[in-house]
Amino acid sequence: MRFLILGGDGYLGWPTAMYLSRQGHEVAVVDNYFRRRACLELNCEPLIPVPNLQHRSQLWEAVSGCRIPVHVGDVCDYPFLRQVFQDFHPDGLVHYAEQPAAPYSMMGHREAILTITNNLVSTANVIHAVNETNLDCHIVKLGTMGVYGTPNIDIEEGYLEVEYRGRKQTFLYPKTPGSLYHLTKAQDGDLLYFYCRMWSIRVTDLNQGPVYGIVTEESAADERLYSIFNYDDIFGTVLNRFLVQAVAGVPLTVYGKGGQTRGYLNLKDTLACVELALQNPAAPGEYRVFNQFVETFTVTELAHRVRDAGRDLGLDVKIQNLPNPRLEAEEHYYQPAHTGLLSLGLQPHYLDRETLQAMLKVVQQHRERIDPDMILPRVTW
C-alpha cells in the first residue's frame, strides 16, 4: 500500500516511515522541521545528533534498499499539501504533523497561537486534501490520552453510552484536557468526527499515552537513523527524561506527589499500532477511536523503576519531588479501556528492567552531550 507520513522527521514519524517501508509498503514523508527550529530557539537540542530527513532517507535506502521520498514543506500550506497528495496518491496517511508539547503550548501568546493554528489548520487541510483527491484514503491521526483528563469514572475508547430520563444516546467521551496542546488534540478530533458525518471520510484516532524508547529494529544498524530524542522540559517525555537524568547524576524530577497515572507504551508498539490501524481501516463515515497504551504507571512508579535499573548499572540514581509546575490532579482514579488494538493483534512490549537498562546504556554512550540546565521545568500553568 501507499502511506504518507505527515511529520515524518519527528520522534514517531521517522521510525514509522522506516518501519512501514521495511514491511514492503511505499512510503513518503512530509515535514517542515518545526521541532528542529524550536529546539534551536529554546536551546534544548536532542541528545543524539541526527542528520536531516534527506540524508536519513539516503542512509535508509543504503541500509535497507527501501526508498522514502522526502517532501519538505508545511502541512498548513494547502497548495503544497494538495500537490503531495496528487503526486503520491496515498491509500492511507498518518497525521503526526502537529505541535506535540503541552509545555510549549503554555509558554506564551506566540506559542499558543502557533499551536492552535498549526494543529487545527493542518488537520483541516488533511481533510480537504482527502476529500478532493481520494475520499477512500484512510486518515490515522495521532491523538492523546490527555484529552480525557482524569475523570472519576472508567475511560472508554472514544465513546460513552448515556442513559438519561429513560432514553439512551452514544456520545464522544467527554474531554477535559489539561493544557492548550491537549485542547487542540480534542478539537482536531471533533473536526474529524464532523467530516466523517458530513463527507464519509475514514478516520482512526489513536489516543496515545506517553511513548518511551530509542532504538528500533530499523535504526539499530546506524545511530544516524535514530529518532529525535528530546530529554528537556519542553519536548522530552517523562520516562525518556528520567533516563537521561539517571545517567547525568541529576535527581529524577517527580512533579508534586507523583501520583499522576498515565498509560505508557514502547516506541516499537507505536509502530505496530499504526500499522494495524492502516491495514484494518475504518469504514467510510466511521470515526474510530483506539486508546493506544500498554501499561499504566504513576510518575513515582516510573522513577522507582529507573532508579532500580540504574543502580544495577552502577548509577547513583536519586529521586526529587519538585513543586508541580502544572495544574493537574496528583492523586486520582484512572481506569482506561484499551482493547481495540489488542483485538487487532497487537503483541505488546512491557517495561521490564532489561528494557530500561538497554535504553540507559544508549544514553550513557552520549553522556557528554547532556546539558543539566535543560531538565528543570521552565514553564508553569
- Residue 173 per-residue DSSP state: P
Active-site choice (144, 204, 298, 300) = 144
Active-site choice (173, 181, 195, 264) = 181
| CA distances from residue 28 to 25, 79, 81, 91, 279 in whole angstroms, order as listed | 10, 17, 12, 12, 17
Residue (of 207, 203, 12, 205) closest to 92 by Cα position: 203
Total residue count of the chain as it appears in this document: 381
Spatial separation of the C-alpha atoms in residues 27 and 24, rounded to whole Å:
9
**In this structure, are residues 246 and 360 in contact, taking their beta carbons and an 8 Å threshold?**
yes
> Alpha helices of the chain — where are they, by DSSP H?
13-22, 34-41, 53-64, 78-88, 102-105, 109-133, 180-199, 238-248, 267-279, 299-312, 340-344, 353-364
Active site residue 181: yes
Give, in degrees to the nearest 5, the angle at Cα 151 between 147 and 155: 70
Spatial separation of the C-alpha atoms in residues 65 and 45, rounded to whole Å:
30
Active-site choice (185, 231, 261, 298) = 185
Q: What residues act catalytically?
A: 144, 181, 185
